[in-house]
Amino acid sequence: KEKVEITKEQQALMKIITDAYNRHQIPQDVAKKLLQDQYSAEENFLLLTEMATSQVQVLVEFTKNIPGFLSLDREDQIALLKGSAVEAMFLRSAQVFSRKMPSGHTEVLEERIRKSGISEEFITPMFNFYKSIGELHMVQEEQALLTTVTILTPDRPYVKDQQAVERLQETMLDVLRKLCVLQHPQEPQYFARLLGRLTELRTLSHYHTEMLVSWRMNDHKFTPLLCEIWDV
């Protein structure tokens, strides 16, 4: 049985990424807001656009701390950010939803999200994804590396030097694979399950534009940054 060992360099890389991931979090907690009050579909939509706008800003700051990211072609950096922003948002949302909360809070949060204005047909796939992420009980290093692997997806639209992105993603996948083996020794399939979530994430993200335009309200307003990042 081959002994899996994380090298000193990989340990340092994981620390840089995890610290950056924890440092670059949304200031105000959307779950707390949703647990406090019930909002109208319009207020919920505004809350979503505010949260998503600030999440894109922290995503940009986070990527600056991914070793090698700033050495990529400048236009490729933009292409990777644009291509992964929605997936990073759903990944973050899943982590917010799956966070340990006092008993009964998760149920209230789920109810508030179900009634937020999202049209029915998207509720099930969205919560299926949130629950499948929750079942993984990821440690924060795994969450940070999974988001990094998602950002470093070589086949995003308009990426020119895919090999350079692939090399970076491989580096992160190697650390993540070892971490999964060490964190979940009883579950040799854990790493494969984790990567399977990325496929589910990509599918969910395909619904995103549809989810926004079908939000139960008229006149959906977006911030300039979201118009850039989301295809709206």
Ligand X SMILES: O=C(NC1CCCCC1)[C@H](C1CCCCC1)n1c(-c2ccc(CO)cc2)nc2ccccc21
Question: Could you list the residues that contact ligand X (CB under 6 A)?
Answer: 26, 30-31, 34, 44, 47-48, 51-52, 55, 89, 92-93, 96-97, 113, 116, 118, 208, 211-212
Q: Which of 231, 81, 68, 70 is nearest to 153 (CA)?
A: 81
Question: CB-wise, 122 or 164, nearer to ligand X?
Answer: 122
Question: CB-wise, 51 or 175, nearer to ligand X?
Answer: 51
**DSSP H/E element including 174:** helix 162-183
Question: CB-wise, 44 or 143, nearer to ligand X?
Answer: 44
Separation CA 69–CA 152 (nearest Å): 9
Minimum gap (Å) between residue 91 Cβ and ligand X: 9
Copy the structure tokens of residue 151.
């950002």
**Do the Cβ atoms of 200 and 129 come closer than 8 Å?**
yes
Question: CB-wise, 135 or 187, nearer to ligand X?
Answer: 135
Minimum gap (Å) between residue 201 Cβ and ligand X: 12
> Cβ neighbours of residue 119 under 8 Å, at least 6 residues apart?
211, 214, 215, 216
Q: How far is the CA of 106 from the CAs of 7, 123, 147, 159, 200, in angstroms?
A: 38, 15, 23, 39, 22
Question: CB-wise, 97 or 191, nearer to ligand X?
Answer: 97
Minimum gap (Å) between residue 192 Cβ and ligand X: 25
**Do the Cβ atoms of 65 and 172 come closer than 8 Å?**
no
> Cβ neighbours of residue 50 under 8 Å, at least 6 residues apart?
223
Minimum gap (Å) between residue 206 Cβ and ligand X: 11
Minimum gap (Å) between residue 189 Cβ and ligand X: 26
